[in-house]
Amino acid sequence: MLESIILGMVLEHDLTGYDIKKMIENGIGVFYKASYGSLYPALKRLTEKGFLTTSEKPQGGRKKIFYHITKEGQDHFFEWLSSPMDIFEGTNTHLSKVYFFDKLSPEIRERQLFEYEINNRNYLKKLLDLEKKFNELENSECFYYKLSTLYYGIGIMQKAIGWCQHIRMQRPLSDLIESE
């Protein structure tokens, strides 16, 4: 996923590894972390694959390496960005895609969000069915902590569905925050 995030970062203009790290920290870093130890090997892989090229430019009295996205890199990025969001792909992987959704057409964004919402609804149904089975057990109180994780998952799915609906309708984002 880091490779796709990097491609999205350099899509608009050439960046140094340091610039990319700072952009991750100050933007997508709310839900994704990358160290220099993972960033520079990813940059090397992207360059070896032909998705990025490098150039040295003087900056502040030193030469710095800037990364530039190639046509192949753009194609790879948009293929990743346009692929369906999988609710099981990993923690907050879907947010990495949504972060770059302004690069997609409205039709593709809508399709992505609609499919993601449907997948969350289907998974929520499975969780609710599981909840029903647990609650039918004679000694369900013995499973309190196991059930607590199930209820956590149910809450997450409900929030994800609400979030999808909210951004699909492009409601004010501040409405997503619950006031105390």
> What residues does each domain of the chain span?
2-96, 105-176
Q: Which two tokens stand for residue 133?
A: 């089975």
As a CATH number, domain 2-96 is 1.10.10.10
Q: Three-class SS of residue 178? A: coil
Mean pLDDT within 89-107: 86
Q: How far is CA 173 from CA 27, 33, 162, 164, 177, in A?
A: 16, 23, 12, 12, 8
Interacting residues of 71 by C-beta distance below 8 A, sequence separation 6+:
none
Q: Which two tokens stand for residue 4?
A: 């796709």
What confidence category does residue 88 fall into, taking pLDDT thresholds of 50, 70 and 90? confident
* Residue listed under structure tokens 């109180």: 141
Of all residues in the chain, what percent carry a pLDDT higher than 70?
A: 97
| CA dist., res. 130 & res. 147, Å (int) | 10
Residue 164 pLDDT > 80:
yes
